[in-house]
Structure 1
Amino acid sequence: MNQLPETGFLRLPQIIGNPKAEPPIPPIIPVKKSAWWAGCKSGRYPAPIKLSPRVTVWRVEDIRAFLANA
């Protein structure tokens, strides 16, 4: 959890990782994209926030709380 900022927002690749990025982004929560979205829909993972039609983010505080309870 040391790599997370104190406040702000995270995009999906920052949460589930992206091995194809340069440099590769390690996952905070190692699940596939479809499993993440299914978990968000069911309430298992934190709810997303839409900033614009093409930008979805999650609050860092919500991700920290999820990791603390996992």
Structure 2
Amino acid sequence: MREPDRIIRLKTVLSRTGLSRSTIYRKIAEGTFPAQLKISTNGTGWHESDINRWIADPVSWRPKRQCDEGR
């Protein structure tokens, strides 16, 4: 059985990617970075696997299509 995908917060995403906060949100708007998930009223996070996929190949990263997701 697969281990569950962790949710990581912005501080972790910033340190793992080396990008600035404004660059991350600009890339989300452009569709070239994984979008965040709403995890509470005031909180968001990212699936760690999505960030790992982006880090592995940031130039050709594209969002997974709904039918491609195994979650």
Give the TM-score normalised by structure 1. 0.70
Deviation of 1:43 after TM superposition, in Å, equals 0.9
Corresponding residue SS for 1:58: strand
Unaligned runs of 5+ in 1: 1-5, 17-26
Q: C-alpha separation between the residues in 2 aligned to 1:8 and 1:47?
A: 15
Report what 1:7 is aligned to.
5
Unaligned runs of 5+ in 2: 59-71
Count of aligned pairs: 55
Q: Which stretches of structure 1, 4 residues or more, deviate above 3 A after TM superposition?
A: none
Report what 1:24 is aligned to.
none
- Does the alignment pair 1:56 with 2:44? yes
Q: CA RMSD in A?
A: 1.4
- Does the alignment pair 1:66 with 2:54? yes
- Does the alignment pair 1:28 with 2:26? no
Percent of counterpart pairs with the same letter? Answer: 24
